[in-house]
Amino acid sequence: MPLELTLRKAAEEVERGDLASVLRARQRLVRLVASYPDRLDLRERLAEVYRVLGDAAQAGRWTYLSGSRDEAEVAAFERAYRTPLARLEAMNWVSGEAGAPTRTARERLVALREAANDQLRAELSVADDRDSSWRANALVLVGLVVVLLCFVVGAVTLVMWAYRWFAG
């Protein structure tokens, strides 16, 4: 179905106002945003549907890059997606900052990507600290030696038992 026809059908369904129609409109717009992820106007229309449904977090998600957004909805989105990395993934933005159609969207994407990079750096530094403990490495080594020793003793015992059994 062509883009304009789909938008018109979604608008008609939202105007009807019953839950089933609004949910159909939401599904149409979700598919359009998936097909055209860099179109801010489609994201804003999807946010309008989520407002009708009373889902402030999703409305904030889809207007996050918009020039005119409701800060309460953005706060709900940030509460629902607590980390910058989770927010960045939830945005489903595929073309990077360069593909943003407005300056505001570019600035917000850059800020979000920098925050996500900071989060990843912090997580990696914590992981590096945990992984470099010599005590943990020594315990793992001792455990491996014990397991290997048990395997060798078991194998020798099995071979000796088999030899005695066959030798008679």
Q: What is the pLDDT of residues 78-116, one digit of tens each?
A: 999 999 999 999 988 888 888 888 999 999 999 999 999
pTM: 0.71
Is residue 73 within 8 A of residue 56, CB to CB? The reply is yes
Answer yes or no: is pLDDT of 130 > 60. no
Question: 50, 30, 40: which is closest to 108 by C-alpha?
Answer: 40
Answer yes or no: is pLDDT of 129 > 60. no
> How do the domains of the chain map onto residue ranges?
3-132, 142-168
Identify the pLDDT of residue 16.
Answer: 93
Average pLDDT value for residue range 126-152: 82
Give the type of residue at 90.
A
Identify the pLDDT of residue 118.
Answer: 94
Is residue 9 within 8 A of residue 28, CB to CB? The reply is yes
Question: 101, 30, 112: which is closest to 74 by C-alpha?
Answer: 112
- Find tokens 């009373």 and name the residue: 54
Confidence of residue 136 (pLDDT cuts 50, 70, 90): confident
Mean pLDDT (the chain, rounded): 91
